[in-house]
Structure 1
Amino acid sequence: MSSLKFEIRDITQVSYDAIVNAANKSLLGGGGVDGAIHRAAGPQLLEECKTLNGCETGEAKITKGYNLPSKYVIHTVGPVYSGAVDDKRMLENCYRNSLLVAKENDLHRVAFSAISTGVYGYPLPEAAIVALTTVSNWLADNDDYDMDILLTCFDNRVYDSYSDYVENYHGSNDYLNKLKY
C-alpha cells in the first residue's frame, strides 16, 4: 500500500530507494540542496552527471546515489519562478516525471526536496500546493503500484506551508485526507 508524508529532514540522510534532487540544467552541482547532495554523494556523482548532457526544466534523469544512504538520485530541474502560468505546469512535470522515472526503475520509496523553493524563488505556499496535489494525484492514478513518498522539508517554513495546505484541504484525495492530524 502506498503512502505520502512530509517531515523536516535532511534529504542527504534519507535512506530510500531514491531521493529527488532539485538540480540545475547542467546537472553538475550548484548551491542549496543540489550542492548538498553532490557533496554527500561524492565526486562519482558529478562524473556520472557529466555523461547525462544536462536536463531540461520539468524533465528527470537518474543516477546512482554513491555515498548517499539512498541507492539512486533522480535529478529534476524546476522552473525559475516568474509568475507565469507555465511555472505551475513545469513544477508539476518535475514531480510527475520524477515519479515516472522511479516507476520505470522499479523504485518504491522516493523522497523529494521542495523543488524550486530555494534560489529559484517559487513561493512556498504555491509550491506546497503543486507538490502535494501532484504526488497525491499520481498515487491515486497509480494505485496498482506501491510507492512511499516523503516530502522532505529543510525548515519549518516548508513544513508549515505543507501543513497549511493539508489543514485547509477539503477534496476527496485519500492520500491528502490521511495527512490531517
Structure 2
Amino acid sequence: MATIEHVLGDITAQDVDVIVNAANSSLLGGGGVDGAIHRRGGPEILAECRELRAGHYGGGLPTGQAVATTAGRLGARWVVHTVGPVWSDTEDRAHLLEACHRNSLRVAAELGATSIAFPAISTGVYRWPVGSAAEIAHRAVADAEIDLVRFVLFDRATYEVFTRS
C-alpha cells in the first residue's frame, strides 16, 4: 500500500519517478499544469506527444486514459499524461476522473515507477469542485501498488481541501 503525501507547491519541481500531467486531449500543451510541464520539461516532451498524435492517438487522448512520455528536463523520469473530464451539473462523470488516477497508476507501474505526483486533476478550467475531486482522487489511489503517491497542490485552499479528505 502506498504512502500518500500532500504538498503545497509546484508539480514541475517534484523529485519523483512520474509526474502526472492534467493534459488536454491534443497532448500538445496548453494552460495550467499542462503548460507548466511542457515549458519546464522542454521540447522533448512535445516531440514525444507529437509522435503519439501521429500514431495511435491521432484523434487525441480520450478522457480518462493515460499515456507516458519522457519527462525531458524535469526531475522526474516520465510524464504520464491524462485527460480529465469537464465538470457537469447534469451528467455524473466521476468514473472518468477516477479512471484518470487509476490509469495513471497503471501506466506508472508498467514503467517500473515507485513514486508518482498528481495535480488536482480537472479542478482548474474544467471546473470540477475541489472537494469532490479530492474524494475521488483519494479513493482511486487508496489501493495503489506503488511506494509513494504525492498530491501536489498549487494553492493553499486546494491543499487544505485535499488534506481534509
Give the structure-1-normalised TM-score.
Answer: 0.84
**Gap change, CA 1:164 and 1:2, over 3 Å in 2:** closer
The aligned counterpart of 2:99 is: 93
CA RMSD of aligned residues (A): 1.2
1:42 aligns with 2:42: yes
Task: Give the Cα–Cα distance (whole angstroms) in 2 for the partners of residues 84 and 148 of structure 1.
Answer: 35
Alignment partner of 1:119 out of 117, 125, 136: 125
Q: Is 1:81–2:122 an aligned residue pair?
A: no
| Alignment-derived partner of residue 31 in structure 2 | 31
1:130 aligned partner, one-letter code: I
Deviation, structure 1 residue 117: 0.5
Instruction: For residue 121 of structure 1, report the CA deviation from its aligned partner.
Output: 0.5
Corresponding residue to 1:63 among 69, 79, 84: 69
SS of the residue 2:99 aligns to? helix
Asked if residue 106 in structure 1 is aligned to residue 89 in structure 2, the reply is no
CA distance in 2, matches of 1:87, 1:101: 21
1:22 to 2:28 alignment = no
In structure 1, runs of 5+ residues without a counterpart are 166-181
Moved over 6 A (4+): none
Kindly tell me the number of residue pairs found equivalent between the two proteins.
159
Amino acid at match of 1:82: S
- Normalising by structure 2, we get a TM-score of 0.92
| Deviation for aligned residue 1:86 | 3.5
Unpaired stretches in structure 2, ≥5 consecutive residues: 54-59
Look up the equivalent residue of 2:82 and give its one-letter code.
Answer: T
1:56-89 deviation line (CA, Å, top 9, x unaligned): 0000000000100111000000001113453100
Q: % of aligned pairs identical?
A: 46
1:3-26 deviation digits (Å, cap 9, x = unpaired): 111110200000110100000000
Aligned partner of residue 51 in structure 1, secondary structure = helix
When Rg is computed on C-alpha atoms for both structures, the one with the higher figure is 1
- Mapped to 1, the partners of 2:164 and 2:21 lie a distance apart of 24
Which of 1 and 2 has higher RCO (CA within 8 Å, sep 6+)? 2
1:22-62 alpha-carbon deviations (Å, 9 max, x no partner) = 00000000000100000001112111101112310000000
